Structure 1
Amino acid sequence: MLLCLTVDHRNADLALLERIERRTDTVTTALSDPELARGAVVLATCNRFEAYLDAPGLAPEQALDGLARATGLSRTELSAACSVHRGEAAAEHLFAVSSGLESASVGEAEIAGQVRRAIDAARASGRASTELERLFQQAMVVSKRVKHRTGLQTRGRSLVQLALALVDSRVGDWQACRVLLIGTGAYAGASLAALRAHGAKHIGVYSPSGRADAFADSHGIRPVARDALDAELRDTDLVVACSTVHEPLLTRERFDDTVTEGSPPFCSRFGRLPAPERSRTRPRLLIDMGLPRNIAPDVAGVAGVELLDLETIALHAPIPELGAELEARDIVRTAAAEFTALRAERDAIPALRELRSFVNGILEDELSRIRDRATGGATEPDHTAETEAALRHLAGRLLHRPTVRLRELAREGRAGEGAGAVSTLLGEPSTRGGS
């Protein structure tokens, strides 16, 4: 049985997602317990936390209890925020996630890479079962199919692209804007590409883990030393934070309130954000893409500082292009149904092997007799070859219909009936054989 436990931006606020994210390692270890599941893959992104389990016989309630214990959340609190998907529904959900259909910004392209890295991490640590490997590999195939057939991921914008669009009117001249990028992971690379697409030229990078020099050298930007962060913040117009820290890196103490005043917050739920009420010398714009947060929420209270976090970005996510999304969801549903059917067909493999072994055993006995006769000169070599080809063709024809029927029964959830029929007809191995 495939199980998926998901907590995302639709059902949980950012604070709850942060609490779970901080315990990702603990959760992953707990859900990977062999007594609980044969395999586990954890997908943690900026607006979702998901666990995919290969766990035959595991009840969803048991999985939720395990997740609650690992996260330190009450069962009631977790149940209110967590959705559970089983079997085909779990496959359909993952296919939709990897295609960007469940993102705050529908069609975002980065999620496919995050899904791929999740199965890579599980494989590297020995947590990826064969069933989960098949599931995630198919998710990658479906994501590419959606991208090429619908163009949804081309139309959709990533969260960082959406965030930059929201601050576009505040920045004004992107070429003159001083930008500080915090973080050096995969999302930092996407953020840097989005900043350059807007025309940003003056970009520095700071890394809490000390990787700023390597990232800056490979991307052609300026590194910011650990002891230079506060000075950099005083001269920066825009901060884009996307580091994997467990506690806020930028706290209120790092900011002063002497630069500007009167800057309106990002509070409009619909439409374009309001223009400043009065001119400002230089606002400091902060975009927090981190989960857990990179920037403490109370920084928004500093005069002249505007903070845009994941919750606010999600509120401004555009309505998707409905035609493309509907087509994409149809692709996802069809793929999930086919994946489930193929999984069911694998239940017929033991019966198919038994049937083919029986027929092929008789075939080889007959072919051996024919070859012996040819060796003794009783038949011509050409006739022997023709007879062998005819018998193999006949065996294939005889096996075809039973093979198709066994697979059909498996797709209908009746693989046991097919296996029982084969065993009943063929009898015990000791009673088999040709005459």
Structure 2
Amino acid sequence: MEPTLYMFCAPHHPLEQVGEHVVSEGLPEKLKEWQRKTGARELVYLCTCQRVLWMLWEGDVQGLSLAPEVMKLTGDAAWLHLLSLASGLESANVGDREIPGQIRTALDTALDAGTAGEEALSALEDILREAHRLRSRIGLDHGQASVATVALKHVERFLDTSGHVLLVGVGPMTQYLAARLPERGYRVTVTNRSLSRAHEMADPLGLPVVPLDLIQRDPGTYDCLVTATASPEPIFTRAAWQHCERENRLLILDLALPPDSEPSLEQLPWVQRLNLGNCLEETEQAKRHRKEAARQADPFLNDGVERLRGRARKRAAKRRRAMAHERLSIAWEALNAEAAEGPLAELLPDQALALQAILRRGRTLAFRALAQSEPRATGEESPEDEDDQ
């Protein structure tokens, strides 16, 4: 059993279309609904800064009611994409280190919701191991960028070190900036819809926290606002800010998908707004590096895909043997019950002993034939072999 992937991903699809399928709130219930509608044996949903991805093990994707332009990957192409993704080769900035953690979180969420099981767990853990091996072999763990580092460069380009930066949200990107910006001398404040979570991120770093609703009404005197929340709707609007008066300009770095800030905010004369798309456009150098890394990675990717598919085939063969073993066990138990309780129960003692010997020998031969019908890993023994010893 191998996964089939269905995906919306920039730049193949507009960021707006990707954003339409981002689910953060109520995801466990949504996973269960998707599994019910598709009939998938197992289902995992992954959302990164530029993609949404459904992994289905069996099932009918029609239940998801996705647009016709959704990308579909199967077989080698699916394994190759997952391995490239986990390795950072599919990221806007090659070598993105956040992806493995996002895959692990997606898997854990699906496991907790009951939509992922043994196959998804085995497959994705295999992929993460192969990705770690690949990153080490081609040097992706050294000096690579993420969207957060691109945002950091924008802050440094726009502000001198006396600037005051407000971080909105407590995700991986804002956590990265919360640690890096003070090192460069910037004043940093944190806000979030949940103040307790804002304090969890800010307090260990000695950073102040402000209520989000204050910023939604007025951005105050902050020089830069970096926002990356999971809100399904914009949390900063032109209607709320249009009466604000400011002398200094405000840089908004909106790294959220869907966006946290309305595009119409750019019409305010004191706002300079950059979104995730702008960050992705500024990665041409990383794209060239990505092409070179991908070229170097090709033989390792191919080897990794072959190992991943081989393990998936072994797991499938093991499941088939287990199911056949169970069916054969049920059949023999029924036959033994017939011998013990049916008309054969009236046999003479010598005849009953002979019948029992025949049944034991037949059971052993049947399970041995089952075990020999498919290749087994070296050292794997049939549980019935001992009956003939």
Structure-2-length-normalised TM-score: 0.75
> Is the 1:106–1:320 contact (alpha carbons within 8 Å) kept by the matching residues of 2?
no
Displacement of 1:304 in angstroms is 2.3
Q: 1:100 aligns with which of 79, 88, 101?
A: 88
- Give the SS at the match of 1:233: coil
Matched with 1:187 is 173
- Separation of aligned partners in 2, 1:347 and 1:22: 31
Deviates more, 1:46-55 or 1:82-91: 82-91
CA 23–29 in structure 1, closer or farther in 2 if over 3 Å, else same: farther
Structure 2 unaligned regions, length at least 5? 326-367, 378-383
Q: 2:312 aligns with which of 332, 343, 361?
A: 343
Displacement of 1:407 in angstroms is 5.8
- Separation of aligned partners in 1, 2:88 and 2:141: 7
- Give the SS at the match of 1:223: coil
Matched with 2:337 is none
Q: Which amino acid aligns with 1:233?
A: P
Q: Matches of residues 94-243 of structure 1 in structure 2 within 5 Å?
A: 94-171=82-159, 173-174=160-161, 176-196=162-182, 199-210=184-195, 211-229=197-215, 233-243=219-229
- Separation of aligned partners in 2, 1:132 and 1:22: 20
Displacement of 1:259 in angstroms is 6.1
- Separation of aligned partners in 1, 2:223 and 2:71: 40
Identity across aligned pairs (percent)?
Answer: 24
Q: Which amino acid aligns with 2:83?
A: F
- Separation of aligned partners in 1, 2:134 and 2:185: 31
Matched with 2:64 is 67
- Give the SS at the match of 1:43: strand
> Is the 1:257–1:302 contact (alpha carbons within 8 Å) kept by the matching residues of 2?
no
CA 23–66 in structure 1, closer or farther in 2 if over 3 Å, else same: farther
Structure-1-length-normalised TM-score: 0.68
- Separation of aligned partners in 2, 1:97 and 1:86: 15
Q: Which amino acid aligns with 2:68?
A: S
Displacement of 1:51 in angstroms is 0.7
Q: Which amino acid aligns with 2:194?
A: S
Displacement of 1:320 in angstroms is 3.6
> Is the 1:188–1:242 contact (alpha carbons within 8 Å) kept by the matching residues of 2?
yes
Show CA shifts across 1:353-387 (max 9, x none). Answer: 98xxxxxxxxxxxxxxxxxxxxxxxxxxxxxxxxx
Matched with 2:361 is none
- Separation of aligned partners in 2, 1:232 and 1:200: 25
> Is the 2:8–2:71 contact (alpha carbons within 8 Å) kept by the matching residues of 1?
yes
Displacement of 1:167 in angstroms is 4.4
Show CA shifts across 1:276-296 (max 9, x none). Answer: xxxxx6321100111121111
Q: Which amino acid aligns with 1:341?
A: G
Displacement of 1:142 in angstroms is 2.1
CA 196–48 in structure 1, closer or farther in 2 if over 3 Å, else same: farther
Matched with 2:33 is 30
Q: Which amino acid aligns with 1:315?
A: E
Q: Which amino acid aligns with 1:17?
A: V
> Is the 2:191–2:212 contact (alpha carbons within 8 Å) kept by the matching residues of 1?
yes
Q: 2:47 aligns with which of 41, 44, 50?
A: 44
> Is the 2:42–2:115 contact (alpha carbons within 8 Å) kept by the matching residues of 1?
yes
Show CA shifts across 1:299-350 (max 9, x none). Answer: 1111121111011111111324243332234323321111111222345446
CA 330–303 in structure 1, closer or farther in 2 if over 3 Å, else same: farther
Q: Which amino acid aligns with 1:9?
A: A
Q: How many residues of Structure 1 are paired with residues of Structure 2 in the alignment?
A: 328
> Is the 1:27–1:67 contact (alpha carbons within 8 Å) kept by the matching residues of 2?
no
> Is the 1:92–1:336 contact (alpha carbons within 8 Å) kept by the matching residues of 2?
yes
> Is the 1:17–1:48 contact (alpha carbons within 8 Å) kept by the matching residues of 2?
yes
- Separation of aligned partners in 2, 1:105 and 1:282: 32
CA 203–44 in structure 1, closer or farther in 2 if over 3 Å, else same: same
Displacement of 1:246 in angstroms is 1.3
> Is the 2:179–2:205 contact (alpha carbons within 8 Å) kept by the matching residues of 1?
no
- Separation of aligned partners in 1, 2:51 and 2:185: 29
RMSD (CA atoms)? 3.1
